[in-house]
Amino acid sequence: MSRISAVAAGGQNIVAFLDTLAFSEGTSTSPTTQDDGYDQIVGRTRFADYADHPNELVAIPKLHISSTAAGRYQLLHRYWVIYKKQLHLSDFSPMSQDMIALQQIRECRALPDILAGRFEIAVSKCRHIWASLPGAGYGQHEHSLSALTAVYLKCGGKFS
């Protein structure tokens, strides 16, 4: 479950959307997580020190790529550097990871849609950030909208 409260995030729909992203990225359900996905490195390994983004380059042979994705929302190291400065973050803690994901959602202009319960529109607006969302087109596993909708509802999200 997201560490940021519904009050601090702006509403339960936002927390449900964050939890849905973690499900979609596979971090919150990873068999190796000991912290609801906040401790995950791409490829299903984990890190233990939240002082900084782990910045571990992991080869993903199946996709013919390497990635530095880490944390609950699989943030690339190059974006961590930017968001750390922009949001005045001191560490890569779960709360910092939630704050970055919220900022990314804002940048996608999806926050009003989430607040209003327009889940499908919000997913569409965010799919270029998270490769696991339907229609992302990165060649990685994409979840169906119906599967994500079920998770969103289970996490307390509401529709308009």
Residue 108 contacts by C-beta under 8 Å, 6 or more apart in sequence? 125, 126, 128, 129
Q: What secondary structure letter does DSSP report for 75?
A: B
**The token pair that represents 73 in the structure block:** 């929302």
Widest Cα–Cα separation across the chain: 42
Strand partners, 66: 59
Residue 61 contacts by C-beta under 8 Å, 6 or more apart in sequence? none
Closest listed residue to residue 22, CA positions, set 49, 1, 43: 1
25 is catalytic: yes
Q: Under a CB-based contact definition with an 8 Å cutoff, are residues 116 and 108 in contact?
A: no
CA 121 vs CA 55, 89, 133, 157: distances in Å:
32, 29, 12, 14
Catalytic residue IDs: 25
